[in-house]
């Protein structure tokens, strides 16, 4: 697993801390630690920064001058992509999908959207259920028509190149755990566009580190999510020269905590946000980490992790809280 063979631009503050959560552990009755990928630094941090190190490296090697990507209106990935482009003098064309249907002013103009604009990205919004792959292709063609050289990044930065960022994170977790003499029984993370989950699975498999990863789904049903993660984990392992390292048994997603849909907040998500903030002062986001923590809390209370040491991978996104004022107002 020699990642130096791949083009890479250093964007993140690494390694991110691996820290205990003593008060939340006490509340849940498990030994809970947190991998602080909300502290990667770029544009306030988040998991996409690790992916963008390899994606931007590939883009610059190909001579691109414009990054083209897509996401939901309050996308953390979009924010970090816009920041990476600004930091390296590239243009950034973004397609935002009105995925939640929210028309609230804060959702449409505050939080991540405000930061996208601050970084100078060009934004275009399309309706929910638009074919985003086709929109990426159309936008790339428009960039070429005006004389630009586009580099298309899929939603979430989730392809095999982007997933290398979480191969590296898997290595980092194992090294830190060994230094702390910490036997990790489970890694729990949000799973959405699949790149973070797939990269962790591929990295751990290639290293031979027998640590199961549980993805808490934020959008798709279980069968579809696991299929997406498995496909990308296979592709990532193949990129590393180990196509047979990943098995289907390594990919597990629990999609019982999505609620009414992607980006839609329910009472249990708000309670998860409050519990993390009021025990160990951890800021989660309403879309990914809030739902992952909602799932972790429910599973811990059911006895799922009894006697285990669990690492919760914090993928960032607290900037999105400011787009959800209406949902949170009165609940805090």
Q: Can you give the pLDDT at residue 331?
A: 87
Mean pLDDT computed over every residue of the chain: 97
For 233-247, how does the pLDDT look when each residue is reduced to its tens digit (9 = 90+)?
999 999 999 999 999
Q: Is 158 a catalytic residue?
A: no
Q: Which of 25, 75, 102, 193 is catalytic?
A: 75
User: How far apart, in whole angstroms, are the C-alpha atoms of residue 37 and residue 39?
Assistant: 5
Per-residue pLDDT averaged across 317-328, rounded?
A: 95
Tokens of 13: 């503050």
Q: Can you give the pLDDT at residue 58?
A: 98
pTM tops 0.75, yes or no: yes
Q: Mapping DSSP to helix (H, G, I), strand (E, B) and coil, where does residue 94 land?
A: strand
Q: Which residues pair with 217 in a beta bridge?
A: 191
User: How far apart, in whole angstroms, are the C-alpha atoms of residue 32 and residue 297?
Assistant: 11
User: How far apart, in whole angstroms, are the C-alpha atoms of residue 77 and residue 67?
Assistant: 12
Residue 82 pLDDT exceeds 80? yes
Residue 1 pLDDT exceeds 80? no
């Amino acid at each position: 697993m020699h990642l130096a063979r791949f083009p890479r631009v250093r964007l993140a503050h690494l390694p991110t801390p691996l820290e205990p959560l003593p008060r939340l552990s006490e509340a849940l009755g498990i030994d809970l630690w947190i991998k602080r990928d909300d502290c990667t630094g770029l544009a306030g941090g988040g998991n996409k920064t690790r992916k963008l190190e390899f994606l931007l490296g590939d883009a610059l090697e190909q001579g691109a001058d414009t990054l083209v990507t897509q996401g939901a209106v309050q996308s953390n990935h979009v924010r970090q992509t816009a920041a990476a482009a600004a930091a390296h003098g590239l243009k950034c064309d973004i397609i935002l999908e009105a995925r939640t249907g929210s028309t609230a002013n804060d959702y449409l103009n505050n939080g991540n959207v405000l930061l996208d604009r601050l970084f100078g990205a060009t934004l275009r919004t399309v309706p929910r259920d638009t074919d985003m792959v086709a929109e990426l292709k159309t936008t790339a063609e428009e960039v070429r028509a005006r004389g630009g050289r586009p580099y298309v990044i899929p939603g979430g930065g989730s392809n095999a190149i982007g997933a290398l960022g979480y191969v590296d994170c898997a290595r980092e977790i194992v090294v830190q755990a060994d230094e702390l003499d910490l036997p990790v029984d489970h890694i729990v993370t949000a799973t959405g566009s699949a790149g973070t989950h797939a990269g962790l699975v591929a990295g751990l498999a290639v290293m031979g580190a027998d640590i199961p990863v549980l993805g808490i789904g934020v959008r798709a049903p279980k069968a579809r999510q696991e299929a997406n993660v498995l496909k990308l984990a296979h592709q990532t392992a193949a990129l590393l020269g180990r196509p047979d390292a990943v098995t289907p048994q390594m990919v597990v997603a629990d999609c019982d905590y999505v609620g009414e849909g992607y980006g839609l907040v329910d009472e249990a998500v708000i309670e998860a946000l409050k519990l993390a903030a009021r025990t160990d002062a951890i800021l989660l986001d309403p879309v990914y980490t809030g739902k992952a923590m909602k799932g972790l809390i429910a599973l811990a209370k059911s006895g799922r992790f009894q006697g285990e040491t669990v690492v919760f991978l914090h993928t960032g996104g607290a900037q999105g809280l400011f787009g959800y004022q209406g949902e949170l107002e009165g609940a805090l």
